[in-house]
Structure 1
């Protein structure tokens, strides 16, 4: 697999995720030392969904995040463009739809909240994906993005780039069904925007009240925003 860039072909990305669907959740837990579960819980709290609300979980993969967010009592829809990932989560009892993040098969103003968990960096161009999320969100509705980030403290950032991300393909190799894909994922994590840049992109796409919260020394960040008009 070629070096990761921020302009990857969507079909290449979908094929890659089809290839890692088997064992994907287990590998994620290994490479994050179990922090993935904690990050999903914190995302659910920030999402603050309520019974009667409709939530779109975009780039949901095997729907493990959708199940977490549905604990709130909201109706949560898992959407992903990788059929392999959706099939991998077939046993999870939440509604699912195959969907392209840039052309969602969903009506305007149909969701109270949209969330993306570790999937935004695979959507290029990112501003177009953020604008499509805005389209399907009700006025006053919420956006919550949980994504890898750039640690603000320089020594931590150096360790993250030069030690953690270099070790990632080696650590995941025994557990992954597609080892080259994790080299791509490590590079996409290294190349991703910092928190301030992503916040600006979200604002430029039409969202307002954009803010972020660093998690785990800034290795991951939650970004939250609101669609105007509520």
Structure 2
């Protein structure tokens, strides 16, 4: 991936403002003690995790049966996404919302917990930004600043970016290599909802989801459909 530099784009990020706070609801499976959550996994969280793990397994099986097309099977992974029926998509939506809600609750108690990360692979910037907007809005995720759409401070026309990758996080610092690369020192530390756009030369199309919960279970899934939460695929940018 080629780093593009840093440009703050509040006019784009403003459109990521959450509009679905009703998905953030508390249940009886989370107990905090001195701002720390117990590590037992609730049945709902376990079921949601299993749904997404099963999806990942089915995608890998599809990639193998589809001839592993594209770099790393990226084209076959997209073919798998295109094959999903309405019921499968609804199951994925429910599972993602369940895990993200739990992360919200943990982050409300301790801002260093419940981190959610998205990795968006797309054939063009509008597609990637549309996916980012829909996930952030539908999942009531925090919105920050979008970085990376310039070279040495000169904006790049969005249509000239080609295939892109967007990295989004609800919190946590950038890596030291990213800090050095940005030239901004510790000003490059990630703030809640920040996103970084880079060029991308791979064949995967979709969204990787990583949810860090207090139970310590590794939860990274994908690629998920970019339009999983898009009610209208013709959403106007």
Which TM-score applies when normalising by structure 1?
0.27
Higher helix share: 1
Structure having the higher strand fraction is 1
Asked which structure has the greater CA Rg, the reply is: 2
What TM-score does the superposition give when structure 2 sets the normalisation length?
Answer: 0.27
